[in-house]
Structure 1
Amino acid sequence: MSLEIERKFLLSAFEPPPTAVRQHIEQGYIAIKDDGTEVRLRRIGEGRVLGVKRRASPPAGPAARIEVERALEEREFTDLWPATEGARVIKDRYTFEASGAIVQVDVYQGGLAGLRTVEVEFATEAEAEAFAAPDWFGAEVTGVKAYGNQTLATAGLPES
């Protein structure tokens, strides 16, 4: 179990730097609760993962969530994947260092094509609060339900 502390922003444009590491991600949701708890499957390259996320209890801030992940065998993943029908996202993730932080840019595909987001993870809430987003980041959408992957997977692109 780990505590995930991250902030998320929109991007209007993105050109991967030469140092970026690209991963193709297929992500599907088995369960999504109204309180933000989710059970998801992920195929990242050759890896397959079952993950559970939920909001951290106070005093943790809005950017903090509890995350548990377990590796799956190919057969387990294949058996569970049909349960995610209608709740999936496909994206390419680019990971690199920028502005003194490790950033992850997600470039969505399929029905979410055109959407690009960037996330920055932090070791502490204080680091997250102190982070000054660089000029190339767009609007912050940390905690905005419409831009959560589980909502994107089930409802598609937000109206605005």
Structure 2
Amino acid sequence: MEIERKYLPLDLPANLNDYKCHKIEQAYLNTAPVVRIRKQDDEYFLTYKGGGMMAREEYNLPLNEKSYYHLREKADGNIITKTRFLIPLEDGHTAELDIFEGKFAGMLLVEVEFSSIEDANSFVPPKWFGKDVTNDGHYHNSYLSKI
């Protein structure tokens, strides 16, 4: 189960390059339900996501490089590329700040994953997180792959 909230950050942490980051490329084989392939640094995954906004089923399976690139040729729509920064928060959670590249260059999105719906609902975001877009499907990467 994936439980996460999404925000449109107002600004970036001053010391952004001090945080661990990942280079991500992902493509969609289907968007309802979501079937996605992802290259994260030198790792490859096939992901299934069920319906929902804040909470939904999620299953990840490992892929090898050859399988990833074979499936990528079958993907529909835009291939999403981004750098994801992992920023520890004072409450023990981790902010995943995505800085998009390519077609969506300049777009910023920050997500936080939770262990329970109660934890997600009680979360108080830092001021720099900006507007909560958790329940707006326009900020799902699967939607971005289609526009």
Query: Could you state the TM-score of these two structures normalised by the residue count of structure 2?
Result: 0.92
Contact 2:30 2:76 in 1 (8 A): no
Please say which of residues 66-75 and 80-89 is displaced more in the overlay. Answer: 80-89
Q: How does 1:9-20 map to 2 (within 5 A)?
A: 9-15=7-13, 16-17=15-16, 19-20=18-19
- Give the match for residue 103 of structure 2: 111
1:73 deviates by 1.2
Query: Could you state the TM-score of these two structures normalised by the residue count of structure 1?
Result: 0.85
The letter for the 2-side match of 1:20 is Y
Superposition RMSD on alpha carbons, in Å? 1.5
Contact 2:83 2:98 in 1 (8 A): yes
- Give the match for residue 98 of structure 1: 89
Which of 86, 110, 123 is the aligned partner of 2:115?
123
1:17 deviates by 3.5
Gaps of 5+ in 1: 57-61, 156-160
The letter for the 2-side match of 1:84 is A
Gaps of 5+ in 2: none
1:152 deviates by 1.1
Cα deviation code 1:121-140 (max 9, x no counterpart): 11111110000111111101
Percentage of matched positions with identical amino acids: 30
Aligned length, in residue pairs: 145
- Give the match for residue 6 of structure 2: 8
Query: How far apart in 2 are the matches of 1:87 and 1:31?
Result: 12
Contact 2:28 2:142 in 1 (8 A): yes
The runs of at least 4 aligned residues of structure 1 exceeding 2 Å deviation read 15-19
Query: How far apart in 1 are the matches of 2:125 and 2:77?
Result: 34
1:153 deviates by 1.6
